[in-house]
Amino acid sequence: MGRNLQNGERLRPVDLARGHGLSTQAVRNYEEAGILPAADRTPAGYRTYTSLHARALRAFLALVPGHGHQTATSIMRAVNQGEVDEAFRLIDDSHAQLLDDRRTLQAVESALRDLEPTAAPEPDVASGPDASSGLADRFIGPLAEELGIRPATLRKWERAGLMRPRRDPMTGYRVYDESDVRDARLAHQLRRGGYLLEQIAPLIAQVRSAGGLEPLEAALSDWRGRVSARGRAMLTGAAELEAYLRERG
**Residue percentage of the chain with pLDDT more than 70:** 82
> Measured over all CA atoms, what is the biggest interatomic distance in the chain, rounded to whole angstroms?
85
The residues near 243 (Cβ < 8 Å, ≥ 6 apart) are 55, 58, 59
pLDDT of residue 235: 98
In this structure, what are the phi and psi dihedrals at residue 161, rounded to the nearest 5 degrees? 85, 15
Cα atoms in the Cβ-side hemisphere of radius 13 Å centred on 24: 9
pLDDT of residue 130: 39
pLDDT of residue 2: 38
Q: Is 0.85 topped by the overall pTM? A: no
What mean pLDDT do residues 134-149 have? 84
**Chain centroid, CA 150 distance in Å:** 19
pLDDT tens readout for residues 16-25? 999 889 999 9
pLDDT tens readout for residues 132-141? 334 568 899 9
pLDDT of residue 193: 73
Q: Give the dihedral sign, CA 129/135/136/141.
A: positive
Cβ 14 vs Cβ 52: under 8 Å? no
Q: pLDDT averaged over the chain?
A: 83
Is pLDDT larger for residue 219 or for residue 7?
Answer: 219
Distances in Å between the Cα of 40 and the Cα atoms of 53, 59, 131, 148 are 11, 20, 75, 47
pLDDT tens readout for residues 174-218? 999 888 888 888 888 788 777 888 888 887 877 776 544 566 677
pLDDT of residue 86: 98
pLDDT of residue 217: 76
pLDDT tens readout for residues 65-75? 999 999 999 99
H/E element, 126: none
Is pLDDT larger for residue 119 or for residue 237?
Answer: 237
Is pLDDT larger for residue 123 or for residue 148?
Answer: 148
Judged against a pLDDT cut of 50, whether residue 1 lies above it is answered with no
pLDDT tens readout for residues 62-103? 999 999 999 999 999 999 999 999 999 999 999 999 998 888
pLDDT of residue 204: 80
Closest CA to 223 of 246, 248, 245, 191: 191
Judged against a pLDDT cut of 50, whether residue 9 lies above it is answered with yes
